[in-house]
Amino acid sequence: MLGFYASWIVLFAALTGLVWSFQWVVQAEFWVFSGGKTRPGAVAVNSDGHAPAKDSTTINQVFDQFRQRYHDAAVLTLSLPVNDSAPIVARAYPSSQQSHNADYCYFDQYTGKEIPVPYLGKYADATLAEKVVRMNYDIHVGAIAGLPGRIAMFFASLISASLPVTGFMVWWGRKKKKKKPANKLSSANPLRLFSTR
């Protein structure tokens, strides 16, 4: 019985988990929620390589600017550029329990200016399909419903993991159970049981 009720929760974890394993699931999900559009690939965001040599304080200026803009955010993160052309990536999470509604901002590592992007940028600018894509992880771990959702997903996963063990125990118990002797009355001729002679 526990497995039956847990299956309704684990189903969401299984379906959202397919996104990380199969590219056709990713495209199908976006196609359904976008009305037949193809999901964009990775957005190429580059810093201006022709700008003057970067100032060592640019990263600090970007962070101060970002922190002032999102002073109510629960979590702020800043990723340093991985090479000479990559941008500074800043993320603002309204809640520490969820990640789908975060704002992603990109800044030029040389000038500190923000670089606008058409996809996976600010949550307010996201389309329905992009919001669904963003929700994949939160649905997968139950965070979409906050802490109660995480707890429910944990116990549903725990129950699912126990099903092979409990299933084996049920099978082994039935195998060891002795057969009951047949009831003599039930095997007798029913006409003779109700005979009036």
Segments making up each domain of the chain, as ranges: 1-41+138-175, 44-117
Strand, helix or coil for residue 27: helix
pLDDT at 54: 58
pLDDT at 182: 56
pLDDT at 4: 83
Strand, helix or coil for residue 95: coil
pLDDT at 52: 59
pLDDT at 151: 93
Instruction: Quick: pLDDT tens for 72-85.
Output: 999 999 988 888 88
Distance CA 194, CA 197 (A): 9
Strand, helix or coil for residue 138: helix
Per-residue pLDDT of the chain (197 residues; tens, 9 = 90+): 888 888 889 898 999 999 988 999 989 999 999 999 988 877 778 887 666 555 667 888 899 999 999 999 999 999 888 888 889 999 999 998 899 999 999 999 888 899 999 888 999 999 999 999 999 999 999 999 989 999 999 999 999 988 888 888 888 888 777 665 555 555 555 555 555 55
pLDDT at 158: 92
Distance CA 19, CA 31 (A): 13
| Sheet arrangement for strand 75-79 | 75-79, 88-93, 103-107, 114-115
pLDDT at 83: 86
pLDDT at 51: 60
